Structure 1
């Protein structure tokens, strides 16, 4: 179906939870809706109405549950089929594992001509035994139902090929990531940001001579929170650590790790923040010790705020962070190596940290500017449509 002045191509974009549209993909649907008719689908939540207001598009609700849940997934597929039959999209595009499974099966059943799934991160590489095999076959099923498979980054692409998840051609969009970052918004010189950072630092009781590390993300067992706390516990007494993000109930950190976070006088739990910039501005270094990622947005956000990053040498992180250039890379699940990197950061001069941060911001501006990614997405969809 070609685009003309009277009729727009309908694109249905599906994610598992509404927070994805409220944070990572925020305003991308609104931009795309200028050329296409965009319809969004996600699980129910208290903030679903906010999505429609932000994006100016229709938002549909289909219950989807994270994790392995065959019966509930069948119910979700039926709900997605009904949504597709009602909206009649020419393109269905899914992100995140569960939305991919539900939306790709439903779109194939409904004979939607263009079915796209973006792998934002693979779960099976860190799983074991029967669960690992099941997750591999689920990803293969998603690829079988899709007509186009997009890896979020080159690391994800390599894993899809290495584990023979699909034989379809795979091409990363731009330099990777699914959203890009607004470097004007995430700027160290953004209006009012310094003031907000000072207020936050005062509120937390952090001294002027403190060295502040910041973690941003769900408090999930695969985020390396345990190793982070082990590494932090051995640092000098002027080190502080901010946790920005809510507890992940689907794969929570251990009770002992959570207890150590709550008991430590220099560890500050801020919970979920709509605006993470003040926390990033307070920090000297971002720390992301994940076991797995697709292409973490927070690394780009930190880079845009001119913040050096300590991250694990995994997919996505090692596509942005270059040791000595804009941060440090350490092996996953290695608390001693993480401690060494954090200690090294504390011993690095303020001038060098500033230089690393500036190089990081420049890299993000060149490779991951949000507007450029949105335009590449529009071009992607145009290329999937039949010619007049």
Structure 2
């Protein structure tokens, strides 16, 4: 089969879907990545895969521009003569479905969180919900969801029938790359918290900084790190992040293609998100490395944590609730923190193994391709 993997950035495809493409290639399939070009498009090509540029604005809402993006994607699909499309991210899912109307290709969208639009509600949320209903109900062969809340919402709204919906435990994690590592505080004493995310307010960055400030006032010597790209268009400027660093509240690490090495230097992964997440990749990666997790009691985030066993759930938008959870971690003896990390690793192996996720894709592709051939 010839399969396209579609998303709104090449960065996303390289970091989250490269292993899936490699596995599908070992099964004899031909793969092509489709996304707007960015520096990671070259990395996909260096890995031996074709990449096709798709003109798309990640946050644009101009109707004329968006229709042009759909038509450009439709032309890409026609030129590639695809058997199947695996789509990701809201625009990737909706526009892939629209571009495939009238074509026999199998469409398998992945709903990896519903994003800020669904969290905010309003007319735009209603529009996106209507587009999902139009595209997925009529065009998708099967839909993967990364958390139970999103799947239940789509089924209840009549967007998808239960027999065409399936829950996957996030994107999965490479258990060899993100191997169990000892907590550094066990030997050096000083505890390090790490937040890995796109640096936008919805990920809980301001709450993280305020919790760090409160712990500093109490005399804590813990380190509070941030890893991720700043998004100047979403309310957190690089200047603001630098100001927090100059104040001594956080250490900004920039971005990295070697996330395991950064995580190995941390003791606890934090993500106080109120974004409508799928299952946050950074949290399951941290858990796989034996890091306890502190995150919010929100869809997707709560799926990563067994509260009190592998980490904590705090209230969204509450710096105080986050501070309390971080203080509990700081108050634990080193041996208890390590034991919690070991339980986090065990849970990650049981629930988030990337190879199991890839197996589900392989099975779904074979099943629906067989059905498509029968119906041809």
Q: Same fold (TM over 0.5)?
A: yes
Partner residue in 2 for 1:12? 4
Residues 80-130 of structure 1: CA distance to partner in whole angstroms, max 9, x if unpaired? 11111111112122100111122111011x413422211111023311322
1:114 lines up with 2:103 in the alignment: no
Local SS of the residue matching 2:110: strand
1:248 lines up with 2:241 in the alignment: no
Partner residue in 2 for 1:85? 78
Which residue, out of 349, 353, 370, partners 1:365? 349
Residues 342-376 of structure 1: CA distance to partner in whole angstroms, max 9, x if unpaired? 11111011111111110110111122222222222
Local SS of the residue matching 2:85: strand
The number of residues matched between the two structures is 363
Counterpart CA distance in 2 for 1:187 and 1:34 is 24
Unaligned 5+ segments in structure 1 are: 1-8, 202-206
Contact 2:242/2:252, CA 8 A, preserved across alignment: no
C-alpha deviation, 1:260, in angstroms: 4.8
Contact 2:198/2:229, CA 8 A, preserved across alignment: yes
Local SS of the residue matching 1:121: coil
C-alpha deviation, 1:384, in angstroms: 0.8
Local SS of the residue matching 1:115: strand
When the two chains are superposed, the root-mean-square deviation of aligned CA atoms in Å is 2.3
Local SS of the residue matching 2:39: coil
Partner residue in 1 for 2:38? 45
Partner residue in 1 for 2:195? 215
Local SS of the residue matching 1:234: helix
Counterpart CA distance in 2 for 1:121 and 1:155 is 9
C-alpha deviation, 1:243, in angstroms: 0.3
Instruction: Compare 257-266 and 347-356 and name the one that shifted more.
Output: 257-266
Local SS of the residue matching 1:277: helix
Alignment of 1:1-388 (within 5 A): 9-35=1-27, 36-54=29-47, 56-67=48-59, 68-108=61-101, 110-123=102-115, 124-147=117-140, 148-167=142-161, 169-174=163-168, 176-178=169-171, 180-189=172-181, 208-235=188-215, 236-253=219-236, 258=241, 260-292=243-275, 293-386=277-370
C-alpha deviation, 1:251, in angstroms: 2.2
Counterpart CA distance in 2 for 1:229 and 1:162 is 37
C-alpha deviation, 1:256, in angstroms: 9.0
C-alpha deviation, 1:185, in angstroms: 1.2
Contact 2:288/2:345, CA 8 A, preserved across alignment: yes
Local SS of the residue matching 1:181: coil
Structure 1 pair 264–278 and aligned structure 2 pair: CA distance change class (3 A): farther
C-alpha deviation, 1:165, in angstroms: 4.0
- Structure with more of its chain in helix, by fraction: 2
Contact 1:211/1:283, CA 8 A, preserved across alignment: yes
Structure 1 pair 158–256 and aligned structure 2 pair: CA distance change class (3 A): farther
C-alpha deviation, 1:48, in angstroms: 0.8
Contact 1:64/1:99, CA 8 A, preserved across alignment: no
Residues 244-293 of structure 1: CA distance to partner in whole angstroms, max 9, x if unpaired? 00112442337896365233324111111101122212211111000021
